[in-house]
Each structure stands twice: as C-alpha cells, then as structure tokens.
C-alpha cells in the first residue's frame, strides 16, 4: 500500500478531538530505493515519536537499571504475589520486606518487557506495523506489547471515553511513549 493511502486510512481513524493536532509524516529517499524512509508522529506540529530518534520529549530507557530506578514507575503488588514470595522463602520475613521483594521481582520483569518493546519499536518498519494495525482488532492492539500498536489504538476514534478513563491503571505499566499518547487522548475526552 502506498504511503499516502496508508496515511489517509490512519488519519480517518483518528479521534475527532485529535484531527488536525496529530499527523503521521514520512520522509523518503527517491534516489536511494534500498534505503527505507523515516516515519514519525507529530502532535501540534512537533515531532513527538520518531522510530529512530530518541531525542523526542518522551523518555527512552538505556538500561534495565534505569527503569528500575525511575521514581515515576509505580508497580502495584497484589496479595497473591506477596504470598508467593512468602511460600518461596524459608523462614519468617517481615511484611514490609515481602512487599519490597515482590515489587523488585515484578519491576525486573517489567523492565525487561519495556526494553524489549522499545528495541522492537526502533527496528520496526512503520508502514508494515501500520498495515498490521489496520487489519487487527482494536482490543488486540490495545492489549499488544507493541508500543506502536498501543499508540495507534489510543488515538483511534473506536476507543471511547469510558474505555480511555478505565485504562489508567493499565497504562501505568506501559512505556512512557504510550503514557504520553494516553494523556493526550485522556485530556481530549
């Protein structure tokens, strides 16, 4: 599918409040057919998400330790997770220490997932991902581990106000790029 047709389809699914504010842009190299173009998403004419550039206003992590030490990441720990650590450990452990251990275990898994998703985004081909997005259900795109699918779904008009407002806890565990577009959409509903 040509870029202009793909762009037209993507923009036809934009939430009415984001029409004119969010744009999909692409650069191409007509004299170098073997070199792929660069695609990015702009908000209010500012480049916000570029697949190959980490200098945007969105936070990009360089290491797992950087994710673990980020104070903005709030990892909820359930009673079942605390109980699992209590069973794994030999001997009594104070309750507050159990919570720290459960959070540490959970944030390690979360950090690996974030870095994996971030790496996949930087290697992704926007046109292929956007075409896949258009042929996948909105629920699958929202639940996907792929950052780009999450972002495109959050800006989609098929995701209503009630669903956006109910996603606040779920989005806290997503990449900052997804959180940025969630906040953008939440402020417009």
Q: How confident is the model at residue 44 (pLDDT cuts 50, 70, 90)?
A: very high
25 forms beta bridges with: 40
Among 100, 115, 130, give the residue marking a domain's end: 115
- Residues 109 and 137 placed together within one structural domain of the fold: no
- Residues 140 and 174 placed together within one structural domain of the fold: yes
Where are the alpha helices (H) located in the chain, listed in sequence order? 3-12, 64-68, 79-88, 95-123, 126-134, 138-143, 147-154, 161-166, 168-171, 176-188
pLDDT of residue 88: 84
pLDDT of residue 52: 58
- Residues 54 and 80 placed together within one structural domain of the fold: no
SS3 of 50, please? strand
Q: Tell me the mean pLDDT in the region 33-42.
A: 65
Phi, psi of 187 (to 5 degrees): -70, -20
Q: Are 174 and 150 in contact (CB under 8 A)?
A: yes
- Residues 137 and 170 placed together within one structural domain of the fold: yes
C-alpha 64/C-alpha 182 separation (Å) is 23
pLDDT in tens, 5-20: 988 999 999 999 999 9
138, pLDDT greater than 60: yes
C-alpha 83/C-alpha 91 separation (Å) is 13
pLDDT of residue 139: 94
Q: Are 64 and 117 in contact (CB under 8 A)?
A: no
- Residues 22 and 99 placed together within one structural domain of the fold: no
For residue 41, the Cα-to-chain-centroid distance in whole angstroms is 13
Residue 110: domain span:
64-115
143, pLDDT greater than 60: yes
- Residues 168 and 132 placed together within one structural domain of the fold: yes
């Amino acid at each position: 599918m040509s870029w202009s047709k793909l762009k037209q389809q993507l923009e036809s699914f934009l939430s009415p409040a984001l029409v004119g504010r969010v744009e999909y842009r692409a650069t191409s190299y007509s004299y170098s057919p073997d070199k792929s173009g660069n695609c990015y998403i702009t908000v209010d004419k500012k480049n916000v998400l570029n697949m190959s550039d980490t200098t945007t206003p969105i936070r990009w992590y360089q290491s797992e330790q950087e994710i673990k030490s980020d104070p903005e990441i709030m990892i909820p720990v359930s009673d079942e997770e605390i109980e699992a650590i209590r069973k794994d450990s030999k001997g009594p452990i104070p309750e507050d220490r159990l919570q720290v251990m459960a959070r540490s275990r959970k944030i390690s898994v979360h950090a690996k997932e974030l870095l994996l998703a971030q790496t996949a985004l930087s290697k992704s081909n926007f046109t292929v991902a956007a075409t896949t997005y258009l042929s996948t259900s909105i629920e699958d795109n929202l639940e996907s581990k792929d950052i780009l699918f999450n972002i495109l779904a959050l800006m989609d008009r098929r995701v209503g106000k009630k669903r956006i407002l109910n996603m606040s806890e779920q989005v806290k565990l997503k990449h900052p790029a997804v959180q940025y577009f969630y906040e953008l959409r939440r402020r417009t509903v």
